[in-house]
Chain A
Amino acid sequence: MAIIELKNLWKEYGSEVVLERLNARVEAGEFITIVGASGCGKTTFLKMLLGTENPTRGELLLDGKAIPEEPDATRGIVFQRYSVLPHLTAERNVMLAGELAANRYTGHAFGARRQELKASAQVMLEDVGLGHAINKYPHELSGGMQQRLALAQALIKKPRILLLDEPFGALDPGIRKDMHALVIKLWREQQLTVFMITHDLDEGFYLGTRLWVFDKDRLDPQAPGAYGARITYDLPVGKDDHGTLEDIATRVDSTARVLG
């Protein structure tokens, strides 16, 4: 069964149509990159997956049921900024999900449970390459390190779906390559379903298994809001062709090794 299904999905704000007639099925384990011009509803679509925006027409299904209308632990997210909590150290940021689960009133864990969370947070931080920055606050980390931390924080909760809203938009190109390698690695390890918005068309082709282009195929210059955006391209990127994916992965790996 498809993990996510879009059935004639519409999103309108008043008379302005943002998205119209979206139909798609996404299987578990797919890595979908979404590209498109600004204002084409990419972020609105991600917000619908997240649950902070609701479809005006049609259905958005998670495992065949309507997707919950508020954010919850099934869908993790990394934003471009503000993803990590500034008042917690890296380790505490990663421990947070476990602490919240440990006690529903205090949101803190104690004793053996705490030690366990600490240990697994350390493993996770090592995994994303932040082993040396365990006790640092986010403001002491660079932009790329903050995004690594955000990934670690989201993934330790083991969400089934990971949403990435231009997570590397603010990073330098070199660091971006590192982050691509990291995301691919985590996606494989945790068998995630990933939706990633990007401005960078190369990134869209380069990462993932499937590329969606959001665009308005009917555009009235006098009334740009009259028609909504649709998925105009739905391309497999190396999905059917395992060699391409391997190829991409090798290239990402070797780039990562070069950049250290």
Chain B
Amino acid sequence: MKKLINQQPGVVSRWALGLLPFVLIAVVYTLSSNARLAENPNDKLLPAPSHMLESMTRMAFEPSKRTGELLLWQDTGASLERLAIGVGLAALTGLVFGIANGAIPLLRAGFSPVVTGISLVPPMAILPILFITFGLEELAKIMLIFIGITPFLIRDLQQRTMEIPEEQIIKMQTLGANTWQIIVRLILPQIMPRLITAVRLSLGSAWLFLIAAEAIAATEGLGYRIFLVRRYLSMDVILPYVMWITLLAFLLDFCLNRYSHWRYPWFHDRSL
């Protein structure tokens, strides 16, 4: 018998072991739900899976009585749009300032301290300022995501830029490159996969800021819906919505990761 640290699971047991916790959670939930419903058929805290499915079918495929919209898709569309614009702008800003700060010492001297300072401001603390400045519409929510993750992206990409080996920057110069060419031919292409990694890391915070902003002031959106139906203790909507958000987050992360592997093979295969 090998020592425990030397025992590797096979393909089948790896999948089985990975799925086991999910199955356990589902079983425990169903048992608890059944127990509560047996005692009180109107219990709202742990709705039966069939009940959740019913509610979600209503949210997804029946037009709302009040607005005539398909609520789930409307909410999803609204939230993803905010997330995409907020994260997209943050990624672009992070890329430009991260590379500029990382590559050019004169710019770094000017911008780096202020970026560090701003990154220490808790974004939620300035949410009221955002609502006052940008109103309660889309802009404030996008700005919260933007302000929340941009300083992290700038600092991370600045660091990654500075980690590019000095040898390569010298090499570019000996091949006749000017500063701009060093940025577009050496630094930018090498930073792109690192940008994707940084965005993947920041998506968790981006979702947090999105849902927080939607909870406080919105008329549609996944976060808005959860906090709206909370008033009616509608766990049959909240729980599937949370799972739906989780699935969306997973898919986003998965797609970014796949894209990065496909587009930047040199980056991911390097360590092999």
Contact = CB atoms under 8 A, between A and B. Distances in A.
B266 A87 contact: yes
Interface in A102-117: 104-107
- Interface SS of chain B: helix, strand, loop or mixed? helix
B1 to A, nearest CB: 38
B32 to A, nearest CB: 51
B168 A76 contact: no
A81 B167 contact: yes
A140 B176 CA distance: 26
Contact of A77 (B171, B189, B269): B171
18 contacts: A52-B170, A71-B174, A72-B174, A77-B170, A82-B167, A83-B168, A84-B171, A85-B171, A86-B190, A87-B190, A100-B172, A100-B175, A100-B181, A100-B185, A104-B181, A107-B177, A153-B175, A157-B176
Interface string A72-96: 1101110101111111000000001
A119 to B, nearest CB: 19
- Interface SS of chain A: helix, strand, loop or mixed? loop
Contact of A154 (B174, B185, B186): B174
B272 interface: yes
A97 B175 contact: yes
Contacts of A18: none
A86 B173 contact: no
Contacts of A137: 265-266, 269
Nearest to B191: A87
Contact of B168 (A50, A82, A139): A82
A235 interface: no
Interface in B146-199: 165, 167-168, 170-178, 180-181, 184-186, 189-190
Contacts of A104: 178, 180-181
B56 to A, nearest CB: 45
Contacts of B266: 86-87, 137-139
Given A107-B185, A139-B269, A79 B177 contact: no
Contacts of B176: 72-73, 97, 100-101, 157
Interface in A131-189: 137-140, 153-154, 157, 159
B186 A71 contact: no
Nearest to B180: A105
Interface in B214-272: 264-267, 269-270, 272
A85 B168 contact: yes
Nearest to A101: B176
A128 B185 CA distance: 24
B174 A87 contact: no
Contact of B165 (A82, A99, A140): A82
Interface centre among B167, B175, B176, B264 (most CB of A within 10 A): B175
A121 to B, nearest CB: 13
A73 B167 contact: no
Interface centre among B168, B184, B190 (most CB of A within 10 A): B168
A83 B272 contact: no
A77 B170 CA distance: 9
A246 B190 CA distance: 45
Given A50-B170, A82-B167, A86-B270, A96 B189 contact: no
Contacts of B185: 96, 99-100, 107
Contacts of B264: 87
B272 A139 contact: yes
A87 B266 CA distance: 6
Contacts of A157: 174-176
A240 to B, nearest CB: 32
B270 A139 contact: yes
A234 interface: no
B174 A75 contact: yes
A70 interface: yes
Nearest to B183: A107
Interface centre among A105, A139, A140, A154 (most CB of B within 10 A): A139
A70 B181 contact: no
Contacts of A79: 167, 171
Contacts of A83: 167-168, 171
Interface centre among B174, B266, B272 (most CB of A within 10 A): B174
Contacts of A84: 171
Contacts of A106: 184
Given A86-B270, A87-B264, A96-B185, A73 B174 contact: yes
Given A86-B270, A100-B185, A77 B174 contact: yes
